[in-house]
Amino acid sequence: MELEELTHIDLFEPPTRTTASGAGNRRGRLCTTGCGRPTAVCLCDHLPSPPIETSTKIIILQHPHEARHKLSTVPLLSKSLLHSQTLIGRRLRRGLSPFLDSLHTLAVSNSNIRPNSRRALFLFPSCESSTAIELEEFVSRSRIDGFDLENLVLIVFDGTWKHAKEMLVSSLPFLSNFAVHASLKCDFGVDGGSIYNSELILRREPFGGCVSTMEAVARTLRVLEPNGVAIEEQLLRVLRAMVMFQASYLKPMKPRPKLVNKKMMRKMSDVEELKNENSA
């Protein structure tokens, strides 16, 4: 199968969504026809309608534990983008996605395809097992080589940073055959912030530049898509709404006295007594 033929394969079914009218506003009830969130924090009115159409296809590998996390941004991301697919698992491998299998088969059968001209990217900071190229540099090199950036496939990992790294490493034997490792700019020397740190701390990040899955995809599409700036803003608008809803339900933290164990208290008491004896 030629490379051009694959550009016409679309195995992504558009997500269906209707409004949450009549769902009620009782606490604990879920919006079953729209965003899937509790009706008290329903985001149906903030989701793009219709979902955003992009030339880039997005595949999200979500860790099974993250799929149960209340603050996961993946469900909102999937409902906001037309060409988005979520896979639940701990690694990418043959048999998990027919679409990725087709890319793998094409790359293996066409060993003369240059790495820079591959149609898939997987997004993650550089690590010991794999060195990433910064997204802007990948785009710049592709344009210099005359490679068309349309119809790219973006693969992202969703989970805690520990889980996501494990997912990446275990997926490399499969991914490295047909995808380029790319990353957004990160500062490993700076302690991380959180989702919209200036507005609300939701989840702590390991180092500067780390962001939620939804924000990472938004930033990437800003670079890859012709109308990327508008797409990024639409996705971030949904994320801001989610953050603000969560802010209204967080209880203020009460200051707690620092706990000191008994052994430490005895040691401090002994030191104080010794000082008093010496002064006498």
Instruction: Give the pLDDT confidence of 170-223 residue by residue, as tens digits.
Output: 999 999 999 999 998 754 444 444 444 444 345 454 444 467 889 899 999 999
The distance of Cα 234 from the centroid of its chain, to the nearest Å, equals: 16
Q: What is the pTM of this model?
A: 0.73
Q: How confident is the model at residue 39 (pLDDT cuts 50, 70, 90)?
A: confident
Nearest to 67 by CA among 86, 48, 47, 85: 86
Residue 33: the pLDDT is: 72
Rounded to 5°, the CA angle 7-13-14 comes to 110
Does 22 have pLDDT greater than 50? Answer: no
Measured N-to-C along each axis, helices 213-224 and 135-144 cross at an angle, to the nearest 10 degrees, of: 20
Q: How confident is the model at residue 242 (pLDDT cuts 50, 70, 90)?
A: confident
The whole-angstrom separation of Cα 79 and Cα 63 is 18
Does 72 have pLDDT greater than 70? Answer: yes
Does 64 have pLDDT greater than 70? Answer: yes
Q: How confident is the model at residue 14 (pLDDT cuts 50, 70, 90)?
A: very low
- CB contact at 8 A, 133 and 126: no
Nearest to 58 by CA among 217, 233, 234, 226: 217
Residue 16: the pLDDT is: 46
Does 157 have pLDDT greater than 80? Answer: yes
Calculate the alpha carbon distances from 40 to 5, 71, 133, 242, 246 in Å. 46, 15, 42, 12, 11
Residue 10: the pLDDT is: 39
Instruction: Pick 205 or 41 by higher pLDDT.
Output: 41
- CB contact at 8 A, 66 and 162: no
Instruction: Pick 210 or 13 by higher pLDDT.
Output: 210
Residue 207: the pLDDT is: 47
